[in-house]
Chains A and B, each alone.
Chain A
Amino acid sequence: MDTVMLAKALAIGIGSIGPALSIGYIGAKAMEAIGRNPEAAGKILVPMLLAAAFAEAVAIYALVIAFSIK
């Protein structure tokens, strides 16, 4: 029982490090781009959201795995 809880915690804990860093990086770069060229804010938003979704998906996979460990 204890090892199951540990496995769940490790799955989501380790699995979310990468996506967390990447989403922060995506946001930082988008803001940098908007800072350089404020008129492009509308054009940047959609690709940024897409990239964030791709990065976030990895965390979600980890979450699904964490839920399905029995």
Chain B
Amino acid sequence: MSLPIAGAAEAEALSANTEIVTENTLFSEQIFKINNFPITNSLLNTWLVVLAVIIFSLFLKTKIKLVPRGLQNAVEAAIEMLSGIFDSVTGSREKTLKYFPFVLSFFVFILLNNWLGLLPGIGSVGQVAAEHGEKVFIPFFRGGTADLNTTLALATIGVVFSHIFSVTALGFWKYINKFINIKAILEIPKKVLREPTILVVNPVKVFVGLIEIVGEFAKVASLSFRLFGNIFAGEVLLAAMSAILAVGLPIPFMFLEIIIGLVQAFIFAVLILAYLTMNTAEEHE
């Protein structure tokens, strides 16, 4: 359970007999406001990650040499391994190189967000606020991906961009026919004399295209809920284990969460890449 560190004294000053409520909420909580725009504790964490990525990239940029050593070597090895895995998804090195920066940013951002949520101090340092007559503990930081808004935004960006890439790769006519199959309708009067079965087959094709539209929304929902659910469940699991026995017991679960953070970031990136490849592939006739 999260321990109220900051603000514990002022809570005692308020009244000594009511207990401070600490619970894992499904939603992130507001810390402060900028012109009616609420800044939540998850948003603060994502800003931290963005800052860390920018500083690391700028630091690495100044040290790039033709013959890699040390840190550059490690980063290059990781990137090479990832691009090897991405090759097996896209099927060609050319496509991998085209989408690599886009997918890698997802991977790095989600991975750092997942891991940052596990650090001590995230979720345990905060303030005590009065809500509905109860004193509620509000942490200053909360894992960025433990908020549905973050994961929903990430999934939406990924799926929308897969459509934009699809339009640029296939052209608008081929793209729109994947979903609203105008071509199949236009084909009916042309071919109906030669193959009468087209009267049945092509309306089915049109209907399948419409179902694809629903599938796109399902992609966003499943991507965002998977990431959010895994990370949030991890936080609750750690809190529950700490409540049973705070010494030693959470350590194996911490390792589990580190692995889950890596696997979920990887799965998110690979799925986005798979959607990109699916949407930019030519349709088989």
Residues of A whose CB lies within 8 Å of any CB of B are 43, 46, 49-50, 53, 56-57, 60-61, 63-64, 67-68
Contacts and interface: CB of A to CB of B under 8 A. Distances in A.
Interface in B145-182: none
Contacts of A67: 26, 232, 236
Contacts of B115: none
Main secondary structure of the interface of B (DSSP, over half): helix
Size class of the contact patch on chain B: 10 to 19
Nearest to A68: B26
A12 B222 CA distance: 18
B177 to A, nearest CB: 28
Contacts of B263: 49, 53
A17 to B, nearest CB: 17
Contacts of B72: none
B225 A64 contact: yes
B271 A61 contact: no
Contact of A49 (B226, B236, B267): B267
A56 B88 CA distance: 23
Nearest to A67: B26
A60 B88 contact: no
Contacts of B222: 57
A24 B233 CA distance: 20
B244 to A, nearest CB: 18
B233 A50 contact: no
Contacts of B225: 57, 60-61, 64
Contact of A53 (B26, B89, B236, B267): B267
B79 interface: no
Interface of B: 26, 85, 88-89, 222, 225-226, 228-230, 232-233, 236, 263-264, 266-267, 270-271
Contacts of B236: 67
20 contacts: A43-B88, A46-B85, A46-B88, A49-B263, A49-B266, A50-B270, A53-B226, A53-B263, A53-B264, A57-B222, A57-B229, A60-B230, A61-B225, A63-B229, A63-B233, A64-B229, A64-B232, A67-B26, A67-B236, A68-B26
Contacts of B271: 50
B136 to A, nearest CB: 16
Given A46-B85, A46-B88, A53-B226, A60 B267 contact: no
Given A56-B226, A64-B229, A67-B26, 13 more contacts: A46-B88, A49-B266, A53-B263, A57-B225, A57-B229, A60-B226, A60-B229, A60-B230, A61-B225, A63-B229, A64-B228, A67-B236, A68-B26
Contacts of A56: 226, 230
A57 B226 contact: yes
Contact of B267 (A50, A61, A68): A50
A61 B228 CA distance: 10
Contacts of B26: 67-68
A53 B229 CA distance: 12
A61 B222 CA distance: 9
A49 B236 CA distance: 23
